[in-house]
Structure formats: structure tokens, C-alpha cells
Amino acid sequence: MINTDISNAYPTNRFSIAPMLDWTDQYCRYFHRLMSKNTLLYTEMVTTGAILYGKGDYLQRDAAEHPVALQLGGSAPLDLAQAAKAGAERGFDEINLNVGCPSDRVQNGRFGACLMAEGELVGDAVKAMRDACDLPVTVKTRIGIDDLDSYEFLCDFIEKVKAQGCDTFIIHARKAWLSGLSPKQNRDVPPLDYERVYQLKRDFPELTIAINGGIKTLDECKTHLQHLDGVMLGREVYANPYILSTVDQQLFGCDKVPLTRFQVLEKMYPYIEAQLAQGVHLNRVARHMLGLFQGLPGARAWRRHLSENGHIPGSGIEVMQKAASFVHEE
Ligand SMILES: Cc1cc2nc3c(=O)[nH]c(=O)nc-3n(C[C@H](O)[C@H](O)[C@H](O)COP(=O)(O)O)c2cc1C
């Protein structure tokens, strides 16, 4: 039996939802939280430039989202330190540095995956962030970049960052090609190498290591958890969010009965009403819920009705209720 006290170890990396730009915004995170109390949520990557010099508020979140980690994109230690401090002041539970994103835009800013080639700089950034706030500072990275893809290279990178006090790494178990592949291709084309991440944990048993990439079921999660401290899921949770409903039971040993999909929907209504009252369009929230009924009869009609009507100005809860009327629970 899994230790049920784990839900008190806060935040825990045992099961988390990956940071996903444009997807894991505050509305998405609120929705996901309804289905699992223990899952660690991540924000989309927020650049230091946006936090320090941007016009908008990029650190918005709802108190109900806890535990939630703020993922930062950047490389200048002083900027990252200021951004981490701002994140701590706004109530985030962890600061995570993105060392895995391969997009050109990110490379031009000299951050993301290309930082794997600059372990010392990442170490300096980690130290600066740790000095600036009391939160855990973690790093999400790949197993390599371009031709820097040997196991020794990965270990060297981890050593350098660990030396500056980072004790938790989330490893996307494929390397990134920094030129030639789009970010989307970089999530599918380079082959997954889970064994390499297991090896890392064997060689650095003192570190907390979570694995990411291509994981689709809770059974797969359990297999990974026999070798590692945590699993992080991205696309599968977004496409099929109701998978979260049994995470607390299956991975955290909790015995609370999960909400049904319709109960989750009902619980979203007051939240959505509150957002609508603040001028947020229905679709900003509803788009994250398209997969809620995946696998049930009527799921397609639910998606279609929401997609066709959710963006119309003035759309309200009635659009969701109508969409839900097409679905038949098992
Ligand atoms: C739409 C989208 C946006 C993403 N944005 C980020 C991001 O902001 N930061 C990051 O570290 N990874 C980002 N990723 C990568 C995911 O965090 C994750 O590493 C990747 O999708 C592999 O996990 P999966 O196979 O479980 O989806 C993004 C992925 C997707 C699909």
C-alpha cells in the first residue's frame, strides 16, 4: 500500500501535469484540480521578460489551484531571481526552470533546451533563484540536445546544476534537435529512452527524478514509479482529463470516491459564471474541457456544440448545458 501521508508532502512531484504553453493556463488548472487533489500542476512557461517588463499580469492563479509550480523561461540569473521572488510573493509552491523547450524564439532568447549546453549558467540561475525565495527550485530538461546526447553529457549537466542546490529534475525522456525540427516534432520524433532516466536515478539516488514523455495511462505511471520518484503527463491529460479522477486513489493511496464527469461539470459552473462576470469569454474556459467526456456516447456532439458556440460573444452556461445534454453517462 502506498503511504497515504504523501498528500501532506506538499508539493509532491509524484504525479504532475506538464507545463504547456497556451494550454495549462489558470482556467485549465482550476478544471484539472477538481479531479485530483494531489496532482502537482504547472503553469505554462512564463518568460522573465513578461514578468519583469510585461504589461499584463502573467502570474494570475486561483487559490484552489494549490499545489502549483510556476515555470520560468529565461537564462539571466538576476532576472530569474527577481521572477522567482515575484512567483513566491504571488503564492506559487515551486519554481521550475525550463531547460527543455526547443523553439527558435526561445533559442534566440538563449533559454529553453539550448541551456543544456550551459550547465554552469543553469547552476548559477538555480542558485540565484534559491537565494531569492524559499520555494523549491526545480529544473525540467531533456536527455540531450543535438549531438550532445551521450549519457555522460546528461550526467555532467545534472552534476553542475545539482552542485548549486537543485535536487529535483523532471526529465523529458527524449533529446531535442535544436534545428530542423519544430517544437511539435520535437515532442514526437526523437525516440523516447526511459531506461536512460532510470539509469540517472540509479546514479543519483539522492535526487528526486520525475519522468515525462509519451506516458498515457496510470498503469504506465505505476511502472515508472517503480524506478523513479515521479511522473509528469502532458498531452494525454489535456486530451483526456478525466484520467485525473483516479490519480489520488491509484497513485496516492487516497480512498475518496472520485467525482463523476457530470459532477465535475457542475462544479465548474459557479467558477465559469464568476469568470463570465469578469468579462472572460466562455471559450477561454470551455476549450480546456472539450475532452471531459472522451470515450462516452455523445462526446463528439459535446465537443462540436462547445466548439461551434463557445466563442460567440455573450455565450454562457446554457451553451455548456446544451452541449452536455448530448452526452450519455455509462
Ligand atoms: C501545446 C504544448 C505546449 C507546451 N509548452 C511547454 C512549456 O511551456 N514548457 C515546457 O517545459 N514544456 C512544454 N511543452 C512540453 C510538455 O511539457 C511535455 O514535456 C511534452 O508534451 C511531453 O510530454 P507528453 O508526451 O506527456 O505530452 C508543451 C507541450 C505541448 C503539447
Q: What mean pLDDT do residues 74-95 have?
A: 97
Which of 208, 235, 252 is the endpoint of a domain? 252
Instruction: Note whether 129 and 195 are same-domain residues.
Output: yes
Domain identity same for 146 and 229: yes
Please compute the mean of the pLDDT values over residues 166-172 and round it to a whole number.
98
Judgement on whether residues 146 and 217 belong to the same structural domain of the protein = yes
Is the pLDDT confidence value at 5 over 80? no
Query: Does 156 fall in a domain?
Result: yes
Mean of pLDDT values over 311-330: 94
Residue 157: pLDDT over 90: yes
Q: What's the 212 CA to ligand 1 centre distance in angstroms?
A: 9
- Per cent of the chain over pLDDT 70 is 95
In short, whether 210's Cβ falls inside 6 Å of ligand 1 is no
**Assigned domain for 37 exists:** yes
Whether residue 213 is found in the same domain as residue 320: no
pLDDT of 111 reads 85
> Is 214 known as a binding-site position?
yes
The conformation of residue 228, written as its DSSP 8-state character, comes to S
Domain shared by 183 and 306, yes or no: no
Tell me, yes or no, whether 182 and 292 share the same domain.
no
Decide if 49 contacts 73 (C-beta within 8 A).
no
**Mean pLDDT on 220-233:** 98
Report the alpha-carbon distance of residue 59 to residue 70 in Å, rounded.
8
253-271 per-position pLDDT tens digit: 999 899 999 999 999 999 9
Judge if 180 and 144 occupy the same domain. Answer: yes
For residues 283 and 235, state if they share a domain.
no
The response to whether residue 234 sits with its C-beta less than 6 Å from ligand 1 reads yes
Please list the alpha-helical segments (H only) found in 42-193: 48-53, 77-89, 104-108, 119-132, 151-162
pLDDT, position 2: 39
Atom of ligand 1 nearest to the CA of 233: 26
Residue 329 belongs to some domain of the structure: no
Q: Is 105 or 127 the better-scoring residue by pLDDT?
A: 127
Chain-wide mean pLDDT for the chain? 94
Q: Residue 183 sits in which domain range?
A: 4-252
Please indicate whether residue 18, judged by its CB atom, sits closer than 6 Å to ligand 1.
yes
The answer on whether 56 is annotated among ligand-binding residues is: no
Atom of ligand 1 nearest to the CA of 18: 17
Q: In the chain, pLDDT over 90 holds for what percent of residues?
A: 90
Whether 231 and 272 map to the same domain: the answer is no
What is the distance in A from the centroid of ligand 1 to the CA of 100?
9
Q: pLDDT-based confidence at 12, cuts 50/70/90?
A: confident
For residue 284, what pLDDT is reported? 97
Instruction: List C-alpha distances in Å: 297 to 291, 302, 328.
Output: 13, 10, 6
Assess whether 129 and 225 both reside in one domain: yes
Centroid of ligand 1 to alpha carbon of 20 (angstroms): 5
Amino acid 330: pLDDT:
67
Regarding whether 247 and 108 lie in a shared domain, the answer is: yes
- Residue 323 Cα to chain centre, angstroms: 28
Is the pLDDT at 108 greater than 80, yes or no? no
Residue whose Cα lies nearest atom 30 of ligand 1: it is 20
> Does the pLDDT of residue 1 top 70, yes or no?
no
Domain of 316, CATH number, reads 1.20.120.1460
What integer pLDDT is reported at residue 103 of this predicted model?
79
The predicted structure's pLDDT at residue 107: 65
- Considering 232, 252, 272, which residue would you say is the last residue of a domain? 252
Q: Is 19 annotated as a binding residue?
A: yes
pLDDT of residue 194: 98
- Tens-place pLDDT, residues 129-140: 999 999 999 999
Give me the number of domains the chain comprises. 2
Q: From the CB of 174, is ligand 1 less than 6 Å away?
A: no
Of 25, 120, 14, residue with least CA distance to 71: 25
Is 123 annotated as contributing to ligand binding? no
Tell me which of 231, 252, 273 is where a domain ends: 252
Residue 330 falls inside a structural domain: no
Any binding-site annotation on 140?
yes
Is the CB of 141 within 6 Å of ligand 1?
no
CATH of the domain at 133: 3.20.20.70
Question: What pLDDT is stored for residue 9 in this prediction?
Answer: 43
Rounded average pLDDT over 15-39:
98
Q: Is residue 243 lining ligand 1, measured as CB closer than 6 Å?
A: no
Active site residue 101: yes
Helix (H, G, I), strand (E, B) or coil at 209: strand
